[in-house]
C-alpha cells in the first residue's frame, strides 16, 4: 500500500462541504501552518517538564487557563476527544453499577462511554417526530425513576447541548437547575455547541463540559477534545498518579501530545471571535431551510432552526431515486457535479447537513444545486 | 495568542535531532503529504460506515490486517497511543484490586494505566547500575510472590520489550514462556521496538502487543498507537457495545480518527522495509557509544548496546558545568551551536540519546560535536 494507492483528499478546496461532522472543524491557514511545522514526533513535548497541560513553550498552560475562562469554567484539560472527556468524567465520579441519565438525542459515544464505565443507563426521551425536542424537565422525572428503582439518585447526568442530527439546542440552564436541586453532577456535551456558539458554563450550571475540537474548534484532522470542570470537581477528575505526581490519571499522563494541540491553539483566536457571529450562522441555516422547504425538502427538529446542523426529510428526492438510473446514489452524484459534497452517499429521504462557516453566496449555491436537481429529475 | 506568538518548529530540518522520543517518529515526505491532504476535520471518516477500523477508503481495514500479520499477531486495532492500548487491555481483562506484574524499567504510563484500572502493581526489579538489566526469570518469582500474597496468579503481566532510557532489549520470548506456563496473560509494550526492529508476537508468545506509532512508526506529531492481539483474546478486548454493534468499547467506537491514521498508513511501507535494517541501526549506535566512551561519556545499560536508544553517564561533562558561565545549560547550547539537538536542556551528567535513522555521517557529526566540546572546555 503506497500513498499512490491512497487517494489524497480535496473536499475542502474544490467543493462546498456541508458534512455536519466537518464544517466547523475546518482549519484556518494559520492552523495548517502550525500543523506542518509540528508534524514531527511528540513535538509539542520539546520543552515539556513532565505534564502536557503545564507546557509553556508552546504556551499550552496559558491556553488552557484562557479556555477555562472562555467556557465559564474553572479549569480545563486536553483530551483525545470529546468521547474521551466524557469517559474520564464518568470513570472518575461513578462506580460500576451506578446509574447515569442521558438524553434521547445523545451521540452514541455518550452511551458507549457510560457502558465502558459499567453504568446503568436511563434515558430522557425526545418528544419524537417531527421535533425530536428534549424537555429538560424530563431529567427531574428520570431522577425520580432512578431513585425509585435503585434507591439512590443517579451518579451523573449527561445532556447533549446540541445534538448532531437535528441541531436542536436544549435549554441547558434549566437542566442545570434540576441537577443542582437534586445534587446530581451535570456533564454537558458541547460537541456541536462550544467553538461554534457562546457557552457560559457558570450560567448553565455545568459541573463538566466536554468539547470536540476537531468537530467544532477548527482543529481539523487530528482528534482532540477539551474537558473543563469547576473547582469543586477538579481534584477528583484531574487527580494525579500516586507514584508520579505530575501525571493526570484520566489522561494517562498526557493525552493529545502533538500537532493537534498546536492546531487547536493556532485556531483558538479565530474560534473566540467566531462564536460572536453565531446569529449570522443561524440566519444562514434558517434561510436555507426556508428555501429547501419550498421545494419539498423539509426540516425536522425544532423550527425555525436554531443551529447550523439540520436534518431534512424529502419525499420528492426519494421518489426520484425510484426511477433514476443511479438509484439512491443519484443525489450524492448530482450534488457533487454541482460542487457540493458532504451528504452521505446513498441517502435521499432523510439526511443532515450543516452550513457552518459558509458565506451567504455558498449557501445560495447549495440551495440552487438542490433546486436544479428537483427541477431536472422530479 | 496568535501563531506569531507561537514559534514554529524547525528541529528536524535544521538540526541532527537525537531525542529518543522523536528519532523514529520522524515522518517521511509522503507522510507529510498525506497529513496535509487530510488536515481537515474527521476526514478519514469521509467513507465510514460506522467503524474506523473497517473503513476501506482510505484502506484502514486492509492496513490493520497487514499490520497484525507484520507483528505476528491475529488482529489489530488503532488506538490513541501506546498508553491507551495498555489501558484498554488492562480494563478489559482485569478487575479493580487484581494484581499485575510489571518490570522495573517500565515507562511511567504502564504504571499509570494499571493505577487507572485500579490494579495492585508488583515489580520485577532490574539488576541496577550499571546494566539495569531485566531478567525474565524475575517474572516467575514475582508470580510466586503474588500467588503467596493474594492467593491467585496475577491478572496480567506487562513487559517493556525495550525501555526508553537504557535501550535494553529484554528476552521477551523467555518472559512469554514463563507467562504461558503460569497461565498469566502477557502484554508486551513495544513502544521502542516495533516499527524499529522486527517483532514476531507468535514466536515471543505475546497475547497483546502495544505499539507507539508517533514514537517508532514514523507517524510524527499526531499521537497514535496500535493494539495487536491473538484470536484467543480478540472477542474480549475488542468487544462491541451492547447497543451499537459496530462500536468497539475500549476505543469508545473510534480512536484516532483523522490525519494520524493516514500518516501511519503512508509511513507503513517504509516501516516494513526499515525494520530489516535493524543491524545497521545497532551498528551506528555501537560505534557512537565506543567513540563517546573514549572521551569519558560512558554508556550505561547492557553492553555492547543492542539498541539505538542509549543512556550515558559523564563526569567530564558534569565537571565542565561547574565552571562554565552557562552552568548546566552549556551542553544544550554548545551542541545546538554544532547543529545537534535532542539532549534535554540542563542535563550534563546523565542523559539519553538515540541515533535512529541517522546516516553514519550524521552519527560521526554527533561524535565530533561531543569531542569538540570536551576538548574546548574540559
Partners of A259 on chain B (C-beta within 8 Å) are 35, 220-222
Cβ–Cβ gap B112/A25 under 8 Å: no
Mutate to test the interface with A, among B2, B23, B41, B114 (most CBs of A within 10 A): B41
Min Cα–Cα distance to chain A from B40, Å: 4
Mean pLDDT of B69-85: 98
Residue B239 pLDDT greater than 90, yes or no: yes
Residues 130-189 (A) with a CB less than 8 A from some CB of B: none
Task: Return the C-alpha cell found at B60.
Answer: 484502514
* Nearest residue to B189 via CA among B134, B128, B138, B270: B134
Residue B125 pLDDT greater than 90, yes or no: yes
pLDDT one-digit tens code per residue, B133-168: 999 999 999 999 999 999 999 999 999 999 999 999
pLDDT one-digit tens code per residue, B303-346: 999 999 999 999 999 999 999 999 999 999 999 999 999 999 99
Phi/psi at A33 (nearest 5 deg)?
Answer: -65, -45
Write the CB contacts of B335 (distance below 8 Å, at least 6 apart in sequence).
B341, B343, B369, B370, B373
* Nearest residue to A6 via CA among B43, B211, B225: B43
Cβ distance B63 to B241 under 8 Å?
no
What pLDDT, on the 0 to 100 scale, is given for residue A6? 61
Helix (H, G, I), strand (E, B) or coil at A159: strand
3-state SS track over chain B: CCHHHCCCCCHHHHCEECCCCCHHHCCCHHHHHHHHHCCCCCHHHCCCCCCHHHCCCCCHHHHHHHHHHHCCCCEEEEECCHHHHHHHHHHHHCCCCCEEEEECCCCHHHHHHHHHCCCEEEEECCCCCCCCCCCCHHHHHHHHHHHHHHCCCCCEEEEECECCCCCCECCHHHHHHHHHHHCCCEEEECCCCECCECCCHHHHCCCEEEEEHHHHCCCCCCCCEEEEECHHHHHHHCCECCCCCCCEHHHCECCCCCHHHHHHHHHHHHHHHHHHHHHHHHHHHHHHHHHHHHCCCEECCCCCCCCCEEEEECHHHHHHHHHCCCHHHHHHHHHHHCCEECCCCCCCCEEEEECCCCCHHHHHHHHHHHHHHHHHHC
Mean residue pLDDT across chain B: 95
Q: Which of A40, A220, A258 sits opposite B223 (nearest CB)?
A: A258
Task: Give the chain A residue whose CA is nearest to the CA of B58.
Answer: A6
Query: A280 CB near a chain B CB, below 8 Å?
Result: no
pLDDT band for B1, please (50, 70, 90 cuts).
very low
pLDDT band for B42, please (50, 70, 90 cuts).
low
- Beta carbon pairs, A and B, within 8 Å: 265
d(CA A216, CA A225): 10
What is the value of ipTM here, to two decimals?
Answer: 0.95
Min Cα–Cα distance to chain A from B375, Å: 28
Residue B3 pLDDT greater than 50, yes or no: no
Cβ–Cβ gap B6/A265 under 8 Å: yes
Mutate to test the interface with B, among A31, A41, A42 (most CBs of B within 10 A): A41
Mutate to test the interface with B, among A252, A265, A309 (most CBs of B within 10 A): A252
Neighbours of B315 (CB within 10 A): 12
What pLDDT, on the 0 to 100 scale, is given for residue A4? 47
Residues 84-113 (A) with a CB less than 8 A from some CB of B: 84, 87, 91, 108-109, 111-113
Partners of B48 on chain A (C-beta within 8 Å) are none
| The model's pTM | 0.96
Task: Return the C-alpha cell found at A271.
Answer: 474560534
Mean pLDDT by 10 residues, chain A (378 residues): 59 88 93 88 78 89 97 98 98 98 98 98 98 98 98 98 98 98 98 98 98 95 93 98 96 90 95 98 98 98 98 98 97 97 96 98 98 97
Task: Return the C-alpha cell found at B96.
Answer: 479493580
Which residues are paired to A99 by β-bridges? Answer: A120
Query: B2 CB near a chain A CB, below 8 Å?
Result: yes
Min Cα–Cα distance to chain B from A53, Å: 15
Residues 34-53 (B) with a CB less than 8 A from some CB of A: 34-46
Residues 196-225 (B) with a CB less than 8 A from some CB of A: 214-215, 219-223
Min Cα–Cα distance to chain B from A101, Å: 16
DSSP 8-state symbol, A239: P
Cβ–Cβ gap A42/B57 under 8 Å: no
Query: B62 CB near a chain A CB, below 8 Å?
Result: yes
Cβ–Cβ gap B252/A223 under 8 Å: no
Neighbours of A293 (CB within 10 A): 13
Measured CA to CA in angstroms, residue B15 lies from A102, B73, B365 at distances of 52, 37, 11
Neighbours of A324 (CB within 10 A): 16
Amino acid at each position: 500500500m503506497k500513498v499512490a494507492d491512497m487517494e489524497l483528499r480535496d473536499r475542502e478546496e474544490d467543493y462546498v462541504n456541508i458534512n455536519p461532522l466537518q464544517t466547523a472543524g475546518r482549519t484556518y491557514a494559520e492552523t495548517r501552518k502550525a500543523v506542518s511545522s509540528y508534524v514531527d514526533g511528540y513535538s509539542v513535548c520539546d520543552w515539556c517538564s513532565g505534564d502536557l497541560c503545564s507546557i509553556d513553550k508552546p504556551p499550552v498552560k496559558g491556553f488552557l487557563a484562557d479556555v477555562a475562562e472562555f467556557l465559564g469554567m474553572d479549569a480545563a484539560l486536553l483530551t483525545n476527544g470529546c468521547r474521551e472527556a466524557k469517559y474520564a468524567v464518568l470513570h472518575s465520579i461513578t462506580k460500576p453499577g451506578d446509574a447515569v441519565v442521558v438524553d434521547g438525542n445523545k451521540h452514541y459515544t455518550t452511551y458507549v462511554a457510560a457502558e465502558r464505565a459499567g453504568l446503568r443507563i436511563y434515558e430522557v426521551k425526545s418528544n419524537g417526530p417531527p421535533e425530536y425536542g428534549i424537555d429538560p424537565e424530563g431529567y427531574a422525572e428520570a431522577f425520580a425513576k432512578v431513585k425509585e428503582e435503585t434507591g439512590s439518585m443517579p451518579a451523573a447526568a449527561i445532556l447533549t447541548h446540541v445534538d448532531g442530527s437535528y441541531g436542536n439546542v436544549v435549554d441547558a440552564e434549566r437542566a442545570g437547575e434540576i441537577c443542582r436541586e437534586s445534587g446530581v453532577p451535570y456533564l454537558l456535551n458541547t460537541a456541536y455547541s462550544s467553538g461554534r456558539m457562546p457557552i457560559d458554563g457558570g450560567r448553565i450550571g455545568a459541573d463538566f463540559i466536554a468539547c470536540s475540537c476537531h468537530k467544532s474548534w477548527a482543529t481539523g484532522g487530528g482528534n482532540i477534545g477539551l474537558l473543563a470542570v469547576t473547582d469543586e470537581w477538579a481534584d477528583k477528575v484531574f487527580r494525579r498518579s500516586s507514584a508520579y505526581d505530575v501525571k493526570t490519571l484520566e489522561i494517562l499522563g498526557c493525552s493529545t501530545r502533538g500537532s493537534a494541540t498546536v492546531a487547536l491553539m493556532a485556531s483558538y483566536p479565530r474560534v473566540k471571535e467566531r462564536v460572536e457571529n453565531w446569529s449570522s450562522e443561524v440566519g444562514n441555516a434558517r434561510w436555507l431551510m426556508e428555501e429547501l422547504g419550498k421545494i419539498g425538502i423539509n426540516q425536522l427538529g425544532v423550527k425555525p432552526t436554531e443551529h447550523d446542523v439540520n436534518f431534512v426529510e424529502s419525499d420528492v428526492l426519494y421518489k426520484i431515486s425510484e426511477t433514476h438510473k443511479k438509484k439512491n446514489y443519484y443525489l450524492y452524484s448530482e450534488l457533487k457535479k454541482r460542487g457540493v459534497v458532504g451528504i452521505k452517499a446513498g441517502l435521499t429521504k432523510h439526511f443532515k447537513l450543516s452550513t457552518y462557516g459558509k458565506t451567504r453566496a455558498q449557501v445560495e449555491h447549495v440551495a440552487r444545486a438542490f433546486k436544479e436537481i428537483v427541477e431536472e429529475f422530479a
